[in-house]
Chains A and B, each alone.
Chain A
Amino acid sequence: GAVVSQHPSWVICKSGTSVKIECRSLDFQATTMFWYRQFPKQSLMLMATSNEGSKATYEQGVEKDKFLINHASLTLSTLTVTSAHPEDSSFYICSARDRGANQPQHFGDGTRLSIL
């Protein structure tokens, strides 16, 4: 079945550091990928839609300069949390959808980010 790989699985870093998270579709091409964040005991919140070859579309309230998204190829999207602070600590999850109408989304296993 379709697989989405997310890396790293977890990262701990100091406040002020920028952190890059990668999301790859392993066996299909994804023109669109999505980035979510999830706080403990809460549901997933969509942050942005990543479009291959064009700018990402951010949801209301999400700072585009804080969360940089790059989707340079049909199999890779990256999310960079710039100058991360403790309040950015969260579980970040990416997903991708295969081409064609009405295809399900496939999710990565998430990246747990802890900022000290």
Chain B
Amino acid sequence: DAKTTQPNSMESNEEEPVHLPCNHSTISGTDYIHWYRQLPSQGPEYVIHGLTSNVNNRMASLAIAEDRKSSTLILHRATLRDAAVYYCILRDRYGNKLVFGAGTILRVKS
């Protein structure tokens, strides 16, 4: 599986946008970019995924670079409930397993 690189931690103020970066320079043409997050003492939660075009859903937006070697998860207005570890993972369209890296710890200040 191609690897991703994320910052260890980031901090944001409540009600401000948050941009979480992810580098994946060895991404293949069939790899989808998936984002999950994990709140303390819970299982991970699916956030969003995409292939080439930017994606939006009720939770977040995913901006994918034109060369697909990097992507950014955007939380439009951070709340205290968004404090979590965010994982950026590559997975082939027909791939099964998700391999988790270290992720980014997001801290949200009130």
Contacts and interface: CB of A to CB of B under 8 A. Distances in A.
Interface string B84-110: 010100000110111111110000000
Interface residues of A, number: 25
Contacts, number: 55
Interface string B40-73: 0111111001000000000000000000000000
Contact of B99 (A46, A93, A94, A95): A46
A26 to B, nearest CB: 14
A6 interface: yes
A106 interface: yes
Please indicate which of the listed interface residues A44, A93, A95 has the most CB atoms of chain B within 10 Å of its own CB: A44
B34 interface: yes
A34 B98 contact: yes
Contact of B43 (A6, A32, A43, A101): A6
Nearest to B39: A109
Interface residues on B, range: 20 to 34
Q: Which 7 A-B pairs have CB atoms at the shortest separation, nearest pair first?
A: A107-B43, A104-B46, A44-B100, A43-B100, A93-B43, A107-B44, A110-B43
28 contacts: A32-B96, A34-B96, A34-B97, A36-B100, A43-B85, A43-B100, A44-B44, A45-B100, A46-B100, A49-B97, A93-B43, A94-B43, A95-B98, A97-B96, A102-B32, A102-B94, A104-B34, A104-B46, A105-B46, A105-B98, A106-B46, A107-B36, A108-B43, A109-B42, A110-B41, A110-B42, A110-B43, A112-B41
Given A104-B46, A105-B36, A106-B46, 9 more contacts: A4-B43, A44-B44, A44-B100, A49-B96, A97-B96, A102-B93, A107-B36, A109-B42, A110-B41
Interface of A: 4, 6, 32, 34, 36, 43-46, 49, 91, 93-95, 97, 101-102, 104-110, 112
